[in-house]
Every structure is written in C-alpha cells, then in structure tokens.
Chains A and B, each alone.
Chain A
Amino acid sequence: MLIAVLSGILFALLFLFFRLQNGWLRFIPAFLPLSLLIYFSTWLPEVAAGKEILFKYTWIPAMGVNLDFKLDGLAMLFSLMITGIGTLVYIYAAAYLSDRSQIHKFFSCLSLFMAAMLGLVLSDNLLVLFIFWELTSISSFFLIGWNTKEEASRKSAVLALAITGGGGFLLLAGVLLMGNVGGSYSIQALTAASATLKQHGSYVLMLCFVFAGAFTKSAMFPFHFWLPGAMKAPTPVSAYLHSATMVKAGIYLLFRLSPVLGGEPLWNYTLMIVGGFTLLYAAFQSLFRTDLKGVLAYSTIAALGLIVLLIGIGTTESFLAAAVFILVHALYKAALFLCTGIIDHAVHSRDLTKLSGLRKIMMPVAIAAGIAALSSAGIPFTFGFIGKDLIYEATMQTGMLAIQLTGLVLIANVLLSYAGYVAGFRPFTGALPEAYADTTKPEFLLWGPPVLLAVLSLLFGFFPALSSPLVNAVVANAGGNPALPDLKLWHGFNLILLLSGVTVLGGVVLYLLRKPADSQVQFMDRFESFSTRSFFLRLAEGIKQISHYFTHKLQNGYLRNYMITIISFLLILLCWKLVKLIPHSIDFSAMTPVSMYDVVILVMMVSAIFVLIFTSSRLTSIISLSIVGYSICLLFVFYGAPDLAMTQFTIDTLTAVLFMLILLKLPPFLTLTNKAIKIRDAIISTIFGGVISMIAFLVLQEPTHKTISRFYADNAYSLAKGKNVVNVILVDFRGSDTLIEITVLTIAALGVYSMLKLKISSSEKE
C-alpha cells in the first residue's frame, strides 16, 4: 500500500529523467494510474463487504505521526475516481498537449498530484493527511500555471495556491487542536473520542478551522473565485482537478470528519447554509458565461455546493445522495471537460456564441458530450437520474426545512441542467460555420476517454445496483445506516418523479429560451468590483504595498539611518530602565582624588574633541584626534598601565602618520547637511553618550571581583617566570589569542600594502 501511494512521487522523479516524448512512448505514463486502478479494484470485494483494511507504517512515532493508511468505502470511492479518471486523463493529455518537449514535466507534476490525492484520501493520520493536502495545493499550482508564458495563467495559479494554501494553514491549526483535545491524530481514535471533542470548549474553533480548510479547497463561497481562474490550466488538468480530485478533497474531508465532528447543529447548519448559498450563487452565475470552460467551472462550484449541502443535512439518505452524486458528477463533468478540450484543440475557440454544428466533424465527441449533458440534467436511464432522485429524497426528509431545501435544490437543478445542455449540446447543434469546415477529425485517443466516461454514465444509469455496494460502504463510513437497499432505477409514480420531471422540463425550456450572449457577460462584469475576488485581490495588493513601504523605510541603504534607528531603539529600551536607577546623590569620597594634572589632561581632551567636531580643516581634525589619543596615553601612565601607554603612543603615532600620508589625497570637508539634521543628530548622540555614562557609573557602583586577577598576580612569576603581569598574560597565559591577533594584523597589513600598490585601471574610474 505504501508503494501504491508513493509510487506517484517516485514516478514523478523518474518521468523527469526519462523523456518519454516521442510517438507512442508518451502514453507509457498512463500505465501508472492504470496499474493503481487495477490494484485498488482488487480490494473492492472486501471493501464492499464492509471491511476496513488497515496498513500501518511507522514514520515519526515520537510525534504520533504514522503512515497509517485505511482503505474503506469512502477511501475506495475516491481512490477509484482518482486512478480511473486519472488513467483517462493521462491518455488524453498525451494526445492533447501540443508542446511535446515539456510533456515529461507535465506527467511528472500530474503524477505528484495523483500521489498526493491518493495519500490524502487514504491516510488515517490527520497530520499525514495535512501533508498530502498541502502537496495537492503545491502540485496543482504547477499544473494550473502550466502555460508559464501567459500572465493570466501564472496569476490564477498564484491565486489558487494562495487560497488553498491559506486554507491548508488554517486546517493545520484545526488538526492540531483536534489532536490535542482528542489525544491522538488517528481519525479512527478521534471518531471514538467524538463526544469529547464535541463537548470541548474549543469545538467551535475546531469547526472554524476545518471549515476554512475544506471551503477553500472545495471552492465554497466566498472562496469560490480561484476555481474559475484555474480554468487557465490545460483542459486535461481542469478535467482532472475539477471533476474528481482537487476540489473534491474538501468534500472528502467533510465526509471523513462527519462522524468525528458532525451531528451538532453548528456543523449541520453551517454546511447547509454555505453549501446552499454556493449552489444557488454558482448555478445562477453559470447562466451568464459564454466561455465553455467558464460554464463548466461555475456548474462545478454549484455541484460542490450541492454535495456540501447534502453532507450538512447529515441523514443516511443525504449521505447516500452525496456519495452517488460525487460519482455522477465526476463521470459527467470529466466527460464534458474532455469534450471542451477537444473542441478547443480542434477549432481554437471556447466561445459559446460562436460554436455550433460541430457534430458534423466530431460525431463521437458530440455523442459523449450529449450523454454527459443528459446525465447532468438527470434524464432517465442516465446515472444522473438516480443521483437526482436520491437528492430530492434526501431533501424531502429534512422535516421542517423540507420545502425550502427542496425548492432551493429544484431551482439550482434547473439552472444546472441548463448549464449541462449549453455545454453538451450547444456547440454541436445547428449549422457548421464555414470557418470550421476544414477542421480535421480529432484522433481516437482524444475522443475515446470521454466516450468511455459517457458509457459508464449510461451503464450505471441502467444498472444502478452496480454501484450500491460501494456507495453503501461510503454511507457507513460517514456515519449513516449501512443497511441500505440496492439502488433502483424505478421507484414508481411519486412526488420525486414529478420533481425530476419538472427539473428536466425547466432545463429544456430555459435552454430553448436563452442564448448565451456577450451582453450577459458584460452585465455580470458590472458587479465584479463587489465580488469577493476583487476584495481578495485588493487585500493582496494592499499587503504588498504596505510591505513595500516598510522595506523602503527600514532598508533605505543609508548607513547613518540604520545607525540612528538602531541607537534610538536601544535608547528607548535602556532609558526606560535607567531612568529609575538615577542616583540621588553621589559619594565622591570613595573615589580617587583629582589632581591638577588630571584636570589639565581632561580639559585638553574635551577641547580637542570639540575642535574635532567643529573644524572644517582636515589637518586640524587629525591633530585633534592625536591629542585625544596622547591624552589617553597620559592617563594610562598616571594610572599604572605603562604597557598600555606605550602601545597607545605607538599606535596613535602610526595612525597620525598614515593619515598625514594620504592627507593630500583626502577630500576636503564639505557642509553636506543642514542645521536641523545636525541638531537632531547632536541630540541623539548626546543622549547616547549620557546613557553610556550612566551605565559606566552604575557599573562602578558594583564591587569588582578580583579572583582572576589575583590568580595572575600570584602565578605570573611562579608559572611563567615573568614579572610584568600584563605581558605574561598576553604572551603566555593567553598566548594563542595573541597569535591569532598577530594573524589578524598581518592580514590587515597585507590588505594595506596591496591597496597602496594597486594600480587603478582606467575602466575602474568613473
């Protein structure tokens, strides 16, 4: 099982290195999903019998993260859709993609995505589920933005990643919360601890986070806008992502967590409200699209809303309806997407106002699309009919809400069947425009997959009992009553049949009355500035501007501004503390008495410093600097540091000499800044100096510890045979430090020497 899940990731790498581009070689990748499909099918009898097959692999046991895979009805339904539709998409994509040089990368991304999806639906550990969840977001980013040369494509990929990735982040919070409260990350364990979770104070928070994850992934209002944008992807990707996989991940999560978190009014009503509103909103929006893929995108959002609504109702009937509808939708929506791709591929247009009469050049495609459209409208003898029946049955058993919900679903279904007719019939009926007359017939590998999907829709439509074992297992996993009768085609004359009839009729009437027109698109575009999409885009733009502004303010590239910022910040931090520590009186008696020559030196230094600051002469400033240095040198002499005095004297002389050496090459001092800035700088540096003085003074108040210097004082002669203790420390006790110091000096000397000798080439001069 581990191999089955991870094989996609493995092959994703392999496909990158083996460029299976030419001829029939490019169909080889399709064997990956096909073999996975066969592998999962072999487990089908056991799963249908109600068994749950567990595979346990230890990964990070210390953190409770284990690669536990559970194959039950729900996981099986999704695995079969992922691999089954995956197989068709692989074949289709190999024929569809015209840029063959990139095809190996495409299959690499697609395989990674498939593996992530499989891992997502199979893992029993919520943390592992989250990892795969994020992996689907990331791999779908590459798939949606496949046409890297188109700006719109790149932008919609980023948008999709931002929305689903942001939702994933919140989902992680929800997962951690659930794990903390429930004491385990295993979904099975959490299901057992369901009552604890629901009674916990953070149940509401958990729900919010989980909903945020599921709604962003499954494109619920108000996060729905990334899905129509993702239609910029190549059509095989749209077909795969939006019929069976990516957007169904959120649905899967809600299904999976129904027995864990569901059953509370908050869970049910939130899902019903969000799902219902999305259903109606998206179904209505799909009326106003002329792009074939746009129609399909909005009808997909509506279908997702419908499934969420059904999960929210939370009865056995509604789970059954949701499970069946997931399959129904995957079959007809994938077929419609693939047909759209064929049309786009053949005549390079998806504009519904222009396409017509294409049946004359692509009859098989027309048939496949037609059957898919009928299934989406719920015509008898298609699988959609069964699905629609079950949906009405579920909504009618909701007690008080029955009338409202049934009405809502009825309206939405009429609109959806219209969308299906538009996508499945409109391009193929009527007269063939002359521009398309010499279009070549699409090859078999393009129209084969949608025809197969259409046939499956019909097969399940005639023999709905075929799907019963699987969907009944799904209902059991979601917490419904597993003892369900098999699905039946004919329930007799009742209210549900009447509702189905009304739906079909309404859709047909609407189809005959309305024609897609550009004016309708323009009408809807007027409301664009109120949409959540533009709100989100404005938000993103605002964040970008704010960060731009801050970066520019903080990283302005001026050294002194950095210094001013750093020092001011330090001052604010320190002043807060230091103000409280200011002593009220100073005890001068404990200090060394001041003698006359001390005062002379200090006065000399202070005046030299002020001269240095205010002078505009280079020579004066260097002399002042030397005076400061030599004065310090004298202080060292007075206060018992002859070695320091000698060193300071040498170094100061050398510095002065070096300065003099380049004095003529030095630029004159210019008055570059105005008075206000000078005063500001003076204030800041004065405060800084004051703080340093304060710190120094406070340090002086503390008693010093002399143990270490006592050690040197006692042992300098006995251990190192030296009488000058400072020298002994430097060359003996801390000899290695001095060695390194000498190395540093040598490097500096080399630098100085080479810099002086370096000749400037003319190109270096500006």
Chain B
Amino acid sequence: MEFLLVLLIGLLYASGTYMMFRRSMVKLLLGLILIGNGANLLIFLVGDINKGNPPVIPRDFSSLQGVYSDPIPQALILTAIVISFGLQAFAIVLLKRVYLVTGTDDLDQLNSDDQDI
C-alpha cells in the first residue's frame, strides 16, 4: 500500500504543478489545492501507516498500548488542513473579486510590470 501511496503523492504533485503552470487563475488555485493534499498525504505516509489503530487511549488504560498510528503527523496535518482552508477561502473570494473588477482571469492579461504603468 505504501508504494501505491507514494505513486499517488507523485501524481498529486505532478497534476498540481501542471495546473499551476496554466494561465487561468482558477486552475492555479485548483493546482494549489492538489499540491496541498499531496503534501498532507506525504506527511501522513512518512509517519508510518497502519490500519485501524487510531491514537485514542482505550477505556481502561492511561496510555496507548501496542500498535498505534503516530499522533504527531496527524496533529501537523490537522493544522495544515485548517490553515490551507483559510488560504483557499480567501483565494476563492479574491478570485471572484478580481474577475468582477478586471473581467478576465487570464494571468497574462493581469500581468503588468512597472514599465507599463
């Protein structure tokens, strides 16, 4: 399974960068989200995965016993998911605003360097 996940992460990164290379702003954002998902999975994967052992202490114990999923990557990913949502939400609204104001989402048309101004 790990090997398949490795390939999946690669695919997420590849598709993410490909989308970010496009000229459309929407696609740029979609690409960013894909890469974010890939990064989350990567962190999850390197913390050793195993099935069905959530890091929750059983009823009658005071510490985790036996095999358990690593809680640290999970805490990190949780933070990452929430923060990236903040970014996504803001970017989505900004996208709408830019389109309303300029009438385009082609990054090349939005592009103007100081010489043009």
Contact = CB atoms under 8 A, between A and B. Distances in A.
A756 B93 contact: yes
A602 B2 CA distance: 12
Interface string B4-26: 10111111111111111111101
Given A658-B89, A718-B63, A766-B103, A692 B13 contact: yes
A548 B86 CA distance: 39
Interface stretch (A136-144, A523-531, A634-642): A634-642
B3 A591 contact: yes
A655 B33 contact: yes
Tell me what chain B mostly uses at the interface: helix, strand, loop, or mixed: helix
Interface in B50-86: 50-57, 61-64, 68-72, 74-75, 77-79, 81-86
Interface residues of A, number: 100
A671 to B, nearest CB: 10
Contacts of A747: 86
Interface in A651-701: 651, 654-655, 658-659, 662, 665-667, 669-670, 672-673, 681-682, 684-686, 688-690, 692-693, 696-697, 699-700
Interface stretch (A200-208, A299-307, A429-437, A733-741): A733-741
Contacts of B10: 689-690, 692-693, 696
B18 A588 contact: no
* Secondary structure dominating the interface of A: helix
A753 B111 CA distance: 26
B6 A696 contact: yes
Contact of B101 (A564, A670, A672, A764): A764
A369 B63 CA distance: 104
A706 interface: yes
Contacts of A748: 86-87, 89-90
A738 B76 CA distance: 11
A638 B52 contact: yes
A713 B47 CA distance: 14
Nearest to B47: A704
A760 B2 contact: no
Interface in A536-576: 557-560, 563-564, 567
Contact of A755 (B51, B93, B113): B93
Nearest to B65: A713
Interface in A625-641: 625, 628-629, 632, 635-636, 638-641
B68 to A, nearest CB: 7
A60 interface: no
Contacts of B63: 713-718
A592 to B, nearest CB: 4
B105 A598 contact: no
A640 B38 CA distance: 18
A648 interface: yes
Given A602-B4, A639-B50, A651-B82, A692 B9 contact: yes
Contacts of A621: 26, 30
A725 interface: yes
A63 interface: no
Interface string B29-58: 010011001101110111111111111110
A514 B104 CA distance: 75
B46 to A, nearest CB: 5
Interface in B84-117: 84-90, 92-97, 99-108, 111-113
A100 interface: no
A745 B68 contact: no
A709 B105 contact: no
A667 B23 CA distance: 13
A520 interface: no
Interface string A93-119: 000000000000000000000000000
A628 B15 CA distance: 12
Contacts of A708: 72
A628 B100 CA distance: 29
A704 B82 contact: no
A629 B112 CA distance: 35
A520 to B, nearest CB: 45
A709 B78 contact: no
B35 to A, nearest CB: 10
Contacts of A505: none
A513 interface: no
Contacts of A686: 14
Given A641-B44, A667-B99, A651 B85 contact: yes
Nearest to A738: B79
A672 B9 contact: no
24 contacts: A557-B112, A558-B108, A588-B3, A593-B1, A629-B37, A644-B44, A644-B78, A647-B81, A665-B96, A665-B99, A665-B100, A667-B24, A685-B15, A688-B13, A689-B12, A692-B14, A706-B70, A709-B72, A713-B63, A713-B71, A724-B57, A729-B72, A751-B93, A765-B101
Given A696-B6, A712-B71, 4 more contacts: A602-B8, A632-B41, A635-B44, A669-B26
10 closest Cβ contacts across the A-B interface? A689-B14, A693-B10, A748-B86, A640-B69, A713-B64, A689-B10, A685-B18, A685-B17, A725-B55, A725-B71
